[in-house]
Amino acid sequence: MGITELILIGIGLSMDAFAVSVTNGLCCKEIRTGKTLLTGLCFGGFQGLMPLIGYFLGRGFAKYITAFDHIIALVLLGFIGGQMIFESFKKEEEKNDAVCLTAKMLLMQGIATSIDALAVGVSFAALDNVNIAFAASAICCITFAFSVVGVFIGKKFGTVLNNKAQLVGGIILVGIGVKIFVEHTFFS
């Protein structure tokens, strides 16, 4: 597998993480550089780890993983997005701006956006010319960069949307979960 193909795979895998990062930036107006980098590390780390796990699980378990990966993503992103939508209707004094980016939420988001990378790892196991360590590292770095940029983009637009950012962010997360579910259920 060439470097160009690997970069394109990394970019493709990082799109869900990018979209969720934009949402985090939209909803958390006071997000600091540390949380931004933590978002990138979490998403990049999971995107790099999942192909490794998939690679070592190999083809034997592929049908079991792909049978329900889209359901897990739908449930996790639906739960997080639903909670954000619910929070958006609370009165301003009841809201806690940091709620949308707790360690637990970030962990759930990282897992939900990287499940497809597990299947990619399984497909890597079927190829002869894949250096899995290099591939996983490249995917990790690409996702880290996209996630950090996504938070900054979301933060910029979050000030424009102001009070509606959390509602929009929740709708986006639920939409991503539904998109993953529909793609895997009807188009794979």
Q: Tell me, what amino acid is at 152?
A: F
Q: Quick count: other Cβ atoms within 10 Å of Cβ 27?
A: 27
**Are the CB atoms for 149 and 49 separated by under 8 Å?**
no
Q: Report the distance separating Cα 19 and Cα 166, nearest Å.
A: 14
Number of domains the chain contains = 1
Q: pLDDT tens string for the chain (188 positions)? A: 788 888 888 888 888 889 889 888 887 877 889 999 999 999 999 999 999 998 888 756 656 666 777 787 778 778 777 877 887 787 655 554 445 578 888 999 999 888 878 878 877 877 778 899 999 999 999 999 999 999 999 888 766 665 566 677 678 778 877 887 888 788 86
pTM of the model: 0.73
Closest CA to 139 of 46, 16, 39, 38: 46
Domain of 172, in residue numbers: 3-186
pLDDT of residue 65: 63
Residue 162 is predicted with a pLDDT of 58
